[in-house]
Structure 1
Amino acid sequence: MRTRTRRRDGRLVTDVPDERAIMPFIMRHRNESTVYFEQLVDITAAQDWVARWNAAGGPRLSLFVLVLHEVAGMLHARPRMNRFVAHRRLYQRDGVYLSFGAMKESDDNAPLQMIKRRFEPQESLTAVIHDLDTAIHEARTGSAASDAEVKLFLKLPIPLLDAAVSAFHWLDARGLLPPALSRPDPMFSSAVVSNLGSLRTDAAFHHLYEHGNCPLFLVVGRVRPTPVVHDGEIRIRQILPLRWTFDERIEDGLYAGRSAELLRRRLEDPIHHLGLPEDAVPGRVREQP
């Protein structure tokens, strides 16, 4: 079968080095291609930036939303991290899409609702906050259309359900899957970002999913005061663990490592990247000294 140069969610990358082009044939599945990587980010300045933004009257900002915004910015700045493998070929994704979960209630038995959103280049933080607030509210107060579809499929006899899922994956591998099935699916995204810190839980290394085509999983852990050496002195800093799971077939470790380092620099020095929070709040006139 001739390789499709275009899918509904991406275009074929044609200038792939031979050693990368052969990888999907040697490592055929996402989880046998997995690399795990940990970052310990000094989040002290970012916490201060968030607090000053909120004090200046900006729409309510959380540290996790700031992380989402910066992950999206990193993917726009480093587009080779926004690729995926389908049917043994490498594709460049059309747009940056992040997926994350929202608990409907703070309860052990509360369902987790996944949210998927497209992040545009140079998108304002205010637009991201407003849009995510709406999406989270809808997720917590309603039910997604996919919930009804899953319940319908689960009513099928096991052999038919197994055949339906196999057909789904067969169509997806060949770029023939209807967008109505792939567009809302959180596993057809640039990255899945899991916020375990909001649950006061330490970050874990998460597996990737063979379903879908998401090559990145980022788990955000709990901020902890941690002694670090700075200028020869031991100081207590607020450290945020980020744990990455990465499909090595999309890009080499050097490019991936530099991309993660870009994210770390942006989170550790948000003023350099975003400016003063008082100036960034829309509609606010800064008082003159």
Structure 2
Amino acid sequence: MAQVLEFKLPDLGEGLTEAEIVRWLVEVGDVVAIDQPVVEVETAKAMVEVPCPYGGVVTARFGEEGSEFPVGAPLLTVAVGATDASSASPGDDGAAAEELSGGSGSGNVLVGYGTGAPAARRRRIRPERNTTSAAPAAPAVVSAPSRPAPVAVAVGEVNGRQGPVAVVSPLVRRLARQHEIDLRGLTGSGPDGLILRADVDSAIRRAGEAGAVTEAAARTAAEPVVAAAPTVQVGTAAPATAERIPLRGVRGAVADKLSRSRTEIPDATCWVDADATELMAARAAMNAASGPSGGPKVSVLALLARICTAALARYPELNSTVDTAAREIVRLHGVHLGFAAQTERGLVVPVVRDAHTRNAESIGAEIARLTELARTGKLSPAQLTGGTFTLNNYGVFGVDGSTPIINHPEAAMLGVGRIMPKPWVHNGELAVRQVVQLSLTFDHRVCDGGTAGGFLRYVADCVEQPAVLLRTL
């Protein structure tokens, strides 16, 4: 007799309490190995694959893609030790499994932990169909005894055909019941005809449109015909429609952090234009000296990051945070430099650890590595937390200036606009120079304008005369 084990959403660390299902990697009936990834979830920090600590046959799967689950909620059930169809209990959704070596489970439930065992071949095992003809029986529902309820299968005639059809989860069934939608008249767009929430939402819209047309026709028929002079309507427009986008996952976390920053931090912004011609020339010289195969090129962002670490050494007030409960300013000794990165899932801020101990080349290599992980959605929660100061290069979007919002709970953020040729007075003469606007938003609780202005002026001086930075290297 197979033992059915329930795998729950594990603690993902970093204080995360919930996750959104992005993509299922297994289906009911698949054979899974110990520590094989079974679902891809998105947390407020990153997107991760969750491995299952059990080996066996997937007998039930809870939740649809796009639904949110709290830590500890059931994800799926696995029949461990099943060898054939007869050994699987009715609670196993009729699935059978091949016996797997070491089938009890690894015991590892945290993301990123596992035994390293090779993944077994996934195999879908379907129950044999009854080929004998029989009168339609009353619908029978088979599901695993767990909450939230898994997708069940009902038997009966739907859309003119006999046989098993997909029945939706309790959430979608309740939505259909509230709007008086007959599920047996719908054709599911999910795998194997599974009725998804989107199918029910479409049916609700169609029913609403049909009801509106019927009501309008009845009202027109009831109104008396009155002759009137023709009128001209000016400025009429079609009714506006709206789309609702849930604030969850990475975008929801960003929204919460920005709102908290605006609510808690009394921020102020100062800015300055700087002549970056010499900085660009120094960068070109560095990259030319490295030669065709002399290593990676040094980016402008890496140089600016190195300038920031030097400036923070001079003005440590800006490398701090405020403990509101204790009413204390906490000065931080190390610089963990965050940098804003735009991805398809929203804005993220990867963190370069111990940036104060790195040179420009090392910082640039780490920025490139973290940026690639951000683009592919593979940043871990630890790589997105713990920053003490943030550098925001919004010049990549083709804009000159901005007033950044501080990345709570940090105390300051440096914004960098695009570097572009502009008329500039250089050595007493008008010339075309490469000019950039720098803006510093700072928490006015940790310092006054003199400190913030001194920090920004030092950064601008290093941009205009990179030799100034050599004194601190």
TM-score by length of 1: 0.64
Q: Count matched residues.
A: 205
What is the CA distance between 1:229 and its match in structure 2? 2.2
Q: Which residue of 1 aligns with 2:350?
A: 115
Aligned match of 1:94 in 306, 314, 333?
333
What is the CA distance between 1:40 and its match in structure 2? 0.7
Letter of the structure 2 residue corresponding to residue 143 of structure 1: K
- Structure-2 change in CA distance of 1:81 and 1:135 (3 Å): same
- RMSD of aligned C-alpha atoms? 2.5
**What secondary structure is seen at the aligned counterpart in 2 of 1:206?**
coil
- Structure-2 change in CA distance of 1:92 and 1:45 (3 Å): same
Q: Which residue of 1 aligns with 2:320?
A: 83
- Structure-2 change in CA distance of 1:144 and 1:231 (3 Å): closer
Give yes or no for the alignment of 1:49 onto 2:286: no
Gaps of 5+ in 2: 1-261
Q: Which residue of 1 aligns with 2:371?
A: 136
Aligned match of 1:191 in 358, 367, 389?
389
Question: Contact 1:96–1:190 (CA<8 Å) still a contact in 2?
Answer: yes
- Structure-2 change in CA distance of 1:142 and 1:185 (3 Å): closer
Alignment deviations for residues 50-106 of structure 1 (CA, whole Å, 9 cap, x no partner): 1111111252111122111111221123222212211221111131122112234xx
Alignment deviations for residues 249-271 of structure 1 (CA, whole Å, 9 cap, x no partner): 10122122112111111111113
Letter of the structure 2 residue corresponding to residue 234 of structure 1: L
User: Residues of 2 paired with 1:208 and 1:60: CA distance?
Assistant: 30
- Structure-2 change in CA distance of 1:251 and 1:232 (3 Å): same
Give yes or no for the alignment of 1:243 onto 2:421: no
**What secondary structure is seen at the aligned counterpart in 2 of 1:96?**
coil
User: Residues of 2 paired with 1:248 and 1:265: CA distance?
Assistant: 23
- Structure-2 change in CA distance of 1:141 and 1:185 (3 Å): closer
User: Residues of 1 paired with 2:364 and 2:267: CA distance?
Assistant: 32
What is the CA distance between 1:219 and its match in structure 2? 1.6
Question: Contact 2:416–2:439 (CA<8 Å) still a contact in 1?
Answer: yes
- Structure-2 change in CA distance of 1:59 and 1:79 (3 Å): same
User: Residues of 2 paired with 1:268 and 1:74: CA distance?
Assistant: 14
User: Residues of 1 paired with 2:465 and 2:390: CA distance?
Assistant: 24
Aligned match of 2:448 in 248, 252, 264?
252
Higher share of residues assigned helix? 1
What is the CA distance between 1:240 and its match in structure 2? 0.5
Question: Contact 2:310–2:469 (CA<8 Å) still a contact in 1?
Answer: no
User: Residues of 2 paired with 1:232 and 1:267: CA distance?
Assistant: 19
Question: Contact 1:221–1:240 (CA<8 Å) still a contact in 2?
Answer: yes
User: Residues of 2 paired with 1:132 and 1:206: CA distance?
Assistant: 20
- Structure-2 change in CA distance of 1:120 and 1:113 (3 Å): closer
What is the CA distance between 1:223 and its match in structure 2? 1.2
What is the CA distance between 1:184 and its match in structure 2? 4.6
Give yes or no for the alignment of 1:37 onto 2:37: no
Question: Contact 1:113–1:140 (CA<8 Å) still a contact in 2?
Answer: no
What is the CA distance between 1:110 and its match in structure 2? 6.0
Q: Which of 1 and 2 has greater Rg? A: 2
Question: Contact 2:305–2:360 (CA<8 Å) still a contact in 1?
Answer: no
What is the CA distance between 1:207 and its match in structure 2? 2.4
Gaps of 5+ in 1: 1-27, 147-182, 281-289
What is the CA distance between 1:39 and its match in structure 2? 1.3
User: Residues of 2 paired with 1:235 and 1:82: CA distance?
Assistant: 37
